[in-house]
Amino acid sequence: MKEYPQFSVVIPMYNMKSYIVPVLDAIYSQTILPEEIIIVDDGSKDGSSEEVTKFISSKEVGNIRLIKQKNEGAVSATNKGIFLSKQGLVCLIDSDAILLTNIWFEEVIKEFSDHKVGAVGGQIITLNKDNIWARIMGYDLEYRYSRISSKYVNHVSTCATMYRRKIFEEIGFFDKQFKYGYDHDISYRIKKKGYNLIILKTIEVGHFWKETLFRYLKEQFFSADGILKLIKKHPGKSRGNEVAGMGEYFHVPLFILFFTFLLISPVWNFLLYFSLLFLGVILLDRIYESYKIYTIKKDLLCFICLPFIHILRDFVWTLSIFYFLKDELKK
């Protein structure tokens, strides 16, 4: 049997009682297994830790370490797990992310034979497609993944990605100032150190998306805040990355112009026409992209809904920018 490098798995967990057992089942279905699995419960209140304890007992596994801490956020839980890990490779897996092939670890580890490789992840697909909101959000991300032409990228998601452990010793751990966007930040720092990042589109990880419009928009509000902090910390990365680039970001200034001109239009009526023009450009762009997604997914409801959901998202991003600037001015 071929020898593979030993590796650790770190799973930050918060209120994931419904998902954590399938996540662990998928890990134990792999052709090669981690030396240790470190689950950091970030103050869950739904009995997530109890589910892990029952899993350990029923499966009689001895390589799971369950660590409990008060609620400090995903970054704190992730950093603690990495700090406690002992192997030269560390795989971060979200507590609602399911490895969808039993050779996932095997394929990822092969890439680390190149010493210039710092991190390797797989393509993310949507699991809860029966929910319309999850489908809309998931299809959008899957489409953006489909446009990536090379396996070498400048960003990998922490949803399911393996890292060289020594990288964290060289550049530090995840930055606690980020609630969202910490995976982008660490990716940019890894690239700056001279390592390569890889996405393997041939191995997939299933992810459960938010199932209500409110939860999606709330997530987008904080996501926009994370992007702004990223731009402040990494000015040279303001154009985004392969997964979310300028095609996503250019909507924001257009929407700000639309919103500003709309507010002023009662004073200068002619500005209403410019306001509608900016809105029309955004809508046409979203309709075009939605159509391209429709040609792949053949989901008419998503095609109809996606442009308007993205306009709502642009509105939430705009609000986030105003709050960010207000906080910056206070400093």
pLDDT in tens, 268-327: 888 899 899 988 988 998 899 899 989 988 989 888 988 888 888 888 988 898 888 888
Task: Report pLDDT for 146.
Answer: 81
Strand 160-164 and strand 89-93: the pairing is: antiparallel
Domain ranges of the chain: 7-236, 250-330
Short-list 150, 154, 149, CA closest to 194: 154
Q: How many CA atoms lie within 13 A of 222 on its CB side?
A: 11
Task: Report pLDDT for 43.
Answer: 96
Task: Report pLDDT for 4.
Answer: 84
pLDDT, mean over the chain = 90
- Mean pLDDT of the region 168-174: 96
Residue for token pair 């589109």 = 201
Strand partners for 66: 39
Task: Report pLDDT for 243.
Answer: 60
Task: Report pLDDT for 78.
Answer: 97
- Mean pLDDT of the region 224-230: 87
Q: Which two tokens stand for residue 261?
A: 């001109």
Banded pLDDT at 191 (limits 50, 70, 90)? very high
29's CB contacts (< 8 A; 6+ apart) are: 99, 102
Dihedral angle at the C-alpha atoms of 165, 171, 172, 174, nearest 10 degrees? -90
**Rounded to whole angstroms, how far apart are CA atoms 178 and 167?**
19
pLDDT at 83 over 90: yes
Max mean pLDDT range (10-24, 229-243, 253-267): 10-24
pLDDT at 178 over 60: yes
Is there a contact between 230 and 324 (Cβ–Cβ < 8 Å)?
no
Q: Which two tokens stand for residue 61?
A: 């596994």
Q: Which two tokens stand for residue 211?
A: 């199932």
Short-list 209, 4, 211, CA closest to 94: 209
Lowest-confidence region among 96-105, 119-128, 209-218: 209-218
Pick the CATH number of 7-236 from 3.40.50.300, 3.90.550.10, 3.50.50.60, 3.40.50.2020: 3.90.550.10
Q: Tens of pLDDT along 131-146? A: 888 888 888 888 888 8
pLDDT at 2 over 80: no
Strand 160-164 and strand 117-126: the pairing is: antiparallel
CB-count burial class (<10 Å; 0-12, 13-18, 19+) for 274? middle
Task: Report pLDDT for 14.
Answer: 96
Whole-model pTM: value is: 0.89
Q: Tens of pLDDT along 29-52? A: 999 999 999 999 999 999 999 999
Q: Which two tokens stand for residue 150?
A: 């090379």
pLDDT at 202 over 80: yes
